[in-house]
Amino acid sequence: MTSSDENMVLTHIEAGVLTITLNRPDRLNSFNDEMHRQLSEALKIAERDEAVRCVLFTGAGRGFCAGQDLNDRNVSVEQAAPDLGLSVERFYNPLIRRMTALPKPIVCAVNGVAAGAGAAIALACDIVIASANASFIQSFCRLGLVPDSGGSWFLPRLAGHARAMGMALLGDKISAQQALEWGMIWQVVEPEILAARTQELAQHLATQPTYGLGLIKKAMYSAATNTLDQQLDLERDLQRLGGRSEDYREGVSAFFQKRQPEFKGK
């Protein structure tokens, strides 16, 4: 293992925010197995450390994440076909499942190109802010593959069926501005203020009622597959839990005492 192998994913905790930086800038932060393992460790911190109340994802260098590193996938004619399903099952699917199930908000600062699984990972974050020079590419179709890491689930929900089809079948580069207009992301900002803006937003979220935000996240993801009837029941249950949280008491008493609430995230 060379020294660069050791820091393919950087983590930094400050003011309740865990910043996770994909760090293979010379390969546009594309994934290999080792980077997956390091990202998995970083997510473990997000899941277990109570001091972490918001996660901020970003990429080092000029790209956000170019998906799978194809250098790891040199397929010669003589070799047997690889089982890409295995890599999806072992690395990408658990990653997306853990991100969406994390009961804490995840902000994504898309600092440059987000392609293939990299685009799906960005879209799996809860609030996505892209730099004006960032782009999203569904590159799978050019290799005979299928959008994975939830790409085929997120795209039609975010952008609608027609746009999802266009993006997935053509693999064109979608600009940050276009992604914003299509409702795929929350904001576009100038490149020089991306880091500051997303850090500020993440720090704000880290002072909010984290437990309640986790319930909101659960409600939103469940809505995608529930009927209205099921969702109404779920809202009742989640509201019941929210109403029992310390932060709810704090929020209400701060309101009546006309002061700023101090949320503990519980």
Partner 1 sequence: MSNDWILRHQQQRVLTLTLNRPDARNALSTACLELLVSHLENADSDDSIGAVVITGSSRCFAAGADLRELQQQKVADAIVDRRPQVWQRFNAISKPIIAAVNGYALGAGCELALACDIVVSGENARFGLPEITLGLIPGAGGTQRLLRNVGKSLASQMVLTGEPINAQQARDAQLISEICVTELTLERAQQIATRISQQSPLALRAAKSALKAAQETTLSQGLNLERQHFVSLAGTDDRAEGIAAFFEKRSPEFKGR
Residues that bind partner 1 (CB under 8 A): 234, 237-238, 240-241
> Could you tell me the smallest distance in angstroms from the CB atom of residue 212 to partner 1?
13
Q: Could you give the strand order of the β-sheet that contains 135-137, starting from the edge strand earlier in sequence?
A: 113-115, 135-137, 173-175
How far apart are CB 154 and partner 1 at their closest, in Å? Answer: 21
**Cβ at position 241, least distance to partner 1 in Å:** 6
- List Cα–Cα distances, 96 to 41, 52, 59, 89, in angstroms: 14, 19, 17, 11
Q: Which is nearer to partner 1, 47 or 69 (CB)?
A: 47
Cβ-based nearer residue to partner 1, 103 or 166: 103
Smallest distance, partner 1 to C-beta of residue 238, A: 7
Q: How far is CA 165 from CA 162, 168, 225, in A?
A: 5, 5, 20
**Whose Cβ is closer to partner 1: residue 158's or residue 234's?**
234
Which residue, 26 or 229, is less far from partner 1 as judged by CB? Answer: 229
Report the residue number, 4 or 230, with the smaller CB distance to partner 1.
230
